[in-house]
């Protein structure tokens, strides 16, 4: 059975996309810890990040770097934090979190709630600042 993220890639489940190319996808986390919390995934379904083929792994990191640069322009923050976390979706992914302090990245149990309109606006704002 396909992972939730593979189903997003295939268009079976909607997502608030911020960037996409042939191999990678970035979209808003629907259970964000802060506004602008983005997930970056390879389109190839592999459960564990370090099981990715070297070229896919490096490509994912470079794609995430571009997304992070746009994210920092769109969402005022000190830095964009990076975390590999999550066992509930068996698909390699990276969290990009706009940080004002380390607490923004370290407190994943404190999820924020946003309306669909807020997610749509945030995704569009970030997307317009990303250069692929």
User: What are the extents of the domains in the chain?
Assistant: 4-127
Active site residues: 93
Beta bridge partners of 82: 96
Residue 109: pLDDT band by 50, 70, 90 thresholds?
A: confident
Q: Once rounded to an integer, what is the mean pLDDT over residues 95-123?
A: 91
Model confidence pLDDT, tens digit, residues 75-91: 999 999 999 987 889 99
Report the predicted TM-score, pTM, of the whole model to 2 decimal places: 0.94
Q: State which fold the 4-127 domain adopts.
A: HIT family, subunit A (3.30.428)
The pLDDT value recorded for residue 108 is 77
Model confidence pLDDT, tens digit, residues 17-29: 999 999 999 999 9
**In 3D, which of 58, 65, 108, 110 has the Cα closest to residue 87?**
108
For residue 39, the number of C-alpha atoms closer than 13 Å in the C-beta half-sphere is: 24
């Amino acid at each position: 059975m396909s992972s939730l993220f593979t189903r997003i890639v295939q268009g079976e489940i909607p997502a608030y996309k911020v960037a996409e190319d042939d191999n990678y996808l970035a979209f808003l986390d629907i259970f964000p810890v802060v506004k602008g919390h983005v997930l970056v995934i390879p389109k190839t379904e592999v459960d564990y990040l370090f099981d990715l083929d070297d070229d896919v792994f490096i490509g994912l990191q470079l794609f995430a770097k571009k997304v992070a640069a746009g994210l920092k322009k769109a969402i005022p923050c000190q830095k964009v934090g990076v975390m590999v976390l999550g066992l509930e979706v068996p698909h390699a992914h990276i969290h990009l979190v706009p940080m004002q302090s380390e607490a923004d990245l370290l407190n994943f149990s404190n999820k924020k709630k946003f309306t669909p309109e807020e997610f749509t606006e945030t995704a569009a704002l970030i997307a317009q600042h990303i250069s692929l």
